[in-house]
Amino acid sequence: MNIFNTMGVTLAAVLVAGQALAADVTIRLAHLNPEDPFQSHSGTMAAVFKSLVESNSNGAIEVQLFPNGQLGKDDEVIEQVRTGLVESTISSAGGIATHYNLVGVFDIPFAFPNIGVASRVISKDSSFGQKFIADLEGKTGLKVLGLIDSGGFFAFTNSKKPIESVADMEGLRIRTMTLPTHEAIVSSLGGQPTPLPWAEVYTALQTGVADGQMNPVPIIAFAKFDEVQKYLSITNHVITPYIWSMNADFYNGLSDEHRTLVNWAAEVATESGRAMSRVIEASDRGLPALAQKMEVNVLGPEEQARFAEAAQPAVRALIEKQYGAEGIAMLEALLASIEEEKGAF
């Protein structure tokens, strides 16, 4: 794919201008979400990283931020990072899947019992995180700087009715990321998956192309889906990763001092983003605010079990069919890590 044909001359102009103003080292960091660090975890991560790197390098490194998908769709920006046009990006599972499809193993419904276990597993420090990152780096050539959840557990929103049982999913057109595993979840529950890129979701919900969608509460909030959706169902059915990557040649070309700085700044920024997601969920920027505008219901344990009974076999079968023995091995490693981390509590 010709990136400049896809992105247009605007991207080229932006990047050339950035190079003209560059410090000794310039890191262009892109992400899909709002720049405001109090609206999204990737906004937090980018802001903290920029502050730490620029201040601790005494201005030798400049970090230029490109939020809100300014440089293109998620998968396109990852390609820009792989080719060296952009240095770094914080990406959703949907974007990564185009380049590394085993990210789909995270999508076994109800595999994670709580956000505490999820936070420990979806991390560079967990046994699974290390295995996952090593495989991703080996197959994509990217350098992974951070691994974090996408903002919490997914909930369903829609414009038709509360989702209180599996039967309520019947016929609902639910927007998903372009992940076969997410499509399988919706299909197994009786819904109609409608895969769309992020930039098209709000309009699709507004015009009725899709009846609903699924995302964590912080994303539902900053995307203002309450303006075009009436019902919010807290199902906690899946949690997916965001992956922070950097061009490996650029990373390896940094001085030892600058590489160390990038490493620890990314770690601190990632943990800041993880904490911000929890703050947003609990604050007037998250669920309390949405509850004032939407009808909210919470799926109980018995109904969650029925959802899991319907969806888990479908996703596991898809992983085995599409990714083979390698996919099942990665899935089993994930499930083993979940069991391991349960012991921490």
pLDDT in tens, 280-306: 998 988 999 999 999 999 999 999 999
Q: Which residues of 162-179 are buried (b: 16+ CB within 10 A; e: fewer)?
A: ebeebebbeebbbbbbbb
Confidence class for position 10, pLDDT limits 50, 70, 90: very low
Residue 267 above 80 pLDDT? yes
The distance of Cα 35 from the centroid of its chain, to the nearest Å, equals: 16
Confidence class for position 8, pLDDT limits 50, 70, 90: very low
Residue 319 above 90 pLDDT? yes
Confidence class for position 343, pLDDT limits 50, 70, 90: confident
Strands 154-158, 88-92: pairing kind: unpaired
Q: Which residues of 224-238 are buried (b: 16+ CB within 10 A; e: fewer)?
A: ebbebbebbbbbbbb
Measured CA to CA in angstroms, residue 302 lies from 161, 279, 299, 305, 308 at distances of: 20, 28, 8, 5, 10
| Least confident interval from 7-16, 39-48, 159-168, 325-334 | 7-16
Vertex 159 angle, CA 155 and 165, to 5°: 55
**Domains of the chain by start residue, with CATH:** 25-149+241-282 (3.40.190.170), 154-239+286-344 (3.40.190.170)
Confidence class for position 15, pLDDT limits 50, 70, 90: very low
